[in-house]
């Protein structure tokens, strides 16, 4: 339906879980400025797709 995309910037920012899951693998860079909370905030990406 009328979903947001680079070519449809006015589209609805509503995404279902299958659409969202496509991007999990690519996001390996650690976000800036995370607090130092040992054993909670990880240094290396730990990509864990949901087990169906």
Partner 1 sequence: TETQSQAVLSPEEVIKHPLQNKWALWFFKNDKAKSWADNLRIITAFDTVEGFWALFNHIQSASKLQSGCDYSLFKDGIKPMWEDGKNKPGGRWLVNLGRTKPQDVDRFWLESLLFLIGESCDDEGELVNGGVINVRGKGNKIAIWTGNYKKEEGILKIGKGFKEVLHLPAKTLISYEAHADTMSKTGSMAKSRYSV
Binding positions for partner 1, rule: CB under 8 A: 4-7, 12-17, 19-21, 23-24, 26-31, 33-35, 37, 39-48, 50-52
Reduced to 3 states (helix: H, G, I; strand: E, B; else coil), residue 20 is: helix
- Supply the minimum distance, in Å, between the C-beta of residue 35 and partner 1: 6
State both tokens at 2.
């009328």
What minimum distance in Å lies between the beta carbon of 44 and partner 1?
A: 8
Say if CB 5 and CB 14 are below 8 A apart. Answer: no
State the nearest-atom distance from the C-beta of 3 to partner 1, in Å. Answer: 10
Could you give the 3-state DSSP secondary structure of residue 52? coil
């Amino acid at each position: 339906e009328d979903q947001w995309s680079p070519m449809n910037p006015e589209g609805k920012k509503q995404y279902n879980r299958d659409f969202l899951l496509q991007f999990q693998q690519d996001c390996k860079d650690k976000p800036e400025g995370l607090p130092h909370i040992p054993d909670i905030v990880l240094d290396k990406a730990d990509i864990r797709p949901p087990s169906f």
